[in-house]
Amino acid sequence: MSDHALRLLRELPHLAELAAFPFNFDLARADHGEAVRLASGGPLEAVAGDDTGGTYFVCGDGSVLYADSEGSAGIIGDSVDAALEVLVGLPGWHDHLGLAPADGEEKIRAAVAETEEEIREYHGIDDERTELRAGLGLPERSPVELVGLLHAALLRTEPDFLLLNAEEGGAHALLDRHPRPPLWESVLARGRTDLTLLREGSAWDEVAGDRARRALALRAAQFDRREGDLPLLRHLLRHEAEASMTDELRLAAVLVGLHGQAEDLPLLYEVRETDFDTWCGLGGMPEPGADPAELRSWARGLDDSLFGTDPADEPLFTWTGLAHEQGLVELARAALIRRLDDIDFRAYCDARDGKAMERRDASQLSSLVHEFEQLGDSFQALRAQRLYVPLQTRAWDRVSALLRLARLEREEGRFGAAIRTLTSLRDTLAEPDGGNGDGDSSLGHWQRTNLGAYIVEEHYAVARTAATDTALADEVRAVTVAAGELLARLSGTAKANVERHLAGTTDIRTDTRTDIHADTDADPGAGVSAEPTPPQPSAG
């Protein structure tokens, strides 16, 4: 990493003028015009711009990120010095974003020569290039070397340097269109290595005893199945049972069951009986003494419906969850943001065309909210929840979604928005069918459920945190009054629990589990207490 050239440009005006023209790295154009930030939250400093509205940013590790005026961005060098080597050596570098070393020297030299001849028709670049290189101490490299440097830099853009619109949260497109490996390939790399170790008879306890490594090894075994893997699969299955019910436990049981060995039935039965969750999650499994063919049939059925042998068929959330588990947080975040952007764009197109947003996105949005919260990214979780709310047609689901939205808005410091969301929530409580007369009775017993308790607690939480904003004094008073009125409507047990929480702490209790669901075929209030319930697993 070096900023030697940038210091010289700031100190020597004649060099800065050369960099600005003809090489379009202008220190006076460092205002990008819109607020942007890295998805990772890393530092970002605008240092120069060009005459097309593009901006050059220096990131925390010294890498230079270029963002154009059309919503694309990419790394063009691992330092300002390296970026200037490209800009000075390839003055038409925008035209060469599609080139790669694999194109060969002849094609690269011909493309660069053609672009430079076009530039020379309007102004000189050769003497200027020699002077600027000498003044900045930049080495003279061939076009082939420079294209190689640019190509390698561009491929580093994602995930660590994903650029977002700071206000709306959408990601910039990649500056280039070079193919990248699929998410699953990056995530699965460690699992494949560990699977090889297991097959060699080494690191059995190290891999099996580490939750992240064990899960990845099982996924690697899912897509590379071998007859001799049964002993190591049994070993991984025993250890995975310690984590209770997981997708990987079901996978391990399936991979063992596919071998159709009668001696595995007692082990599988023991795993199924680990606890209530495993008993439910592995339902239908043949018991000891069953015909091995029955075991194989059970395993094939689950394999066909849930797993298979192509990693590209796995849901996105499988890979983002595994990425997060092994510490590849930015890889997971980037993939989730890209998926959310796709849904957001479809919603925009639907709204533009006067169509309602498709309900098929509802489950994905719910999973996105959950995954972003797991990453600690409440900003993106809030984006997803805003899209999720309008898709809820049932009053109970609508209130639940609004409650979660209010919490996310509060956590992001958007107190005015949270207050407005709680107003909408109370409107739905007052008129569940929205005035349509459709007889929606799903909220009939909200006063004696977890949902009712959470509603009251969130009102008090918003009132307390928003009290720091004096401009919202009237709104805060209204929320406080509403909280008291809602508290008075709760049933005895629910009311007592909320009052105990409020009295027993100096801060309002804020539970993250505010997306409460009820059985659509049952009375949502029947038999439900106001005591907090364990969080449910992600829909993804």
User: Tens digit of pLDDT for each residue in 399-454?
Assistant: 999 999 999 999 999 999 999 999 999 999 999 876 666 668 899 899 999 899 99
Task: Evaluate whether 432 touches 441 at the Cβ level (below 8 Å).
Answer: yes
Residue 456 CB neighbours (<10 A): 28
Is residue 208 within 8 A of residue 239, CB to CB? The reply is: yes
Q: What are the angstrom distances between the C-alpha of 355 and each of 347, 358, 359, 364?
A: 9, 9, 12, 19
* Terminal Cα distance for the chain, rounded: 40
Who's near 214: CB < 8 A, 6+ residues apart? 207, 208, 236, 239, 240, 248
Q: Which of 151-155, 496-500, 502-506 has the highest mean pLDDT?
A: 151-155
Q: Is the dihedral of CA 223, 228, 230, 236 positive or negative?
A: negative
Output the six-digit token pair for 191: 């699992």
Q: Check residue 534 and give its pLDDT.
A: 35
Residue 281 · residue 248 · CB < 8 Å: no
Q: Lowest mean pLDDT of 14-23, 147-156, 183-192, 355-364, name the range.
A: 355-364
Question: CA nearest 402: which of 481, 413, 351, 391?
Answer: 391
Query: Residue 31 is which amino acid?
Result: D
| Tokens 């019910």, residue located | 245
| Whether the predicted pLDDT of 503 surpasses 90 | no
Helix (H) or strand (E) holding 51: none
* Tokens found for residue 59: 């990131």
d(CA 491, CA 527): 13
Q: How far is CA 340 from CA 345, 381, 408, 540, in A?
A: 9, 10, 17, 14
Give kind and range of the element (H or E) at residue 355: none
Q: Is the pLDDT at 351 greater than 80, yes or no? A: yes
The whole-number pLDDT of residue 3 equals 83
- Residue closest to 64 by CA, chosen among 142, 126, 2: 2
- Of residues 21, 25, 112, the one with CA closest to residue 64: 25
Task: Return the pLDDT at 505.
Answer: 57
Residue 173: DSSP 8-state = E
Q: Give the whole-number percent of the chain exceeding pLDDT 90.
A: 85
Secondary structure element (H or E) that encloses residue 388, with its range? helix 378-388
Q: What is the pLDDT of residue 355?
A: 86
Residue 512 pLDDT more than 50?
A: no
Q: What pTM does this model have?
A: 0.90
Q: Tell me the pLDDT band of 508, cut-offs 50, 70 and 90.
A: very low
Number of H helices, E strands in the chain: 23, 7
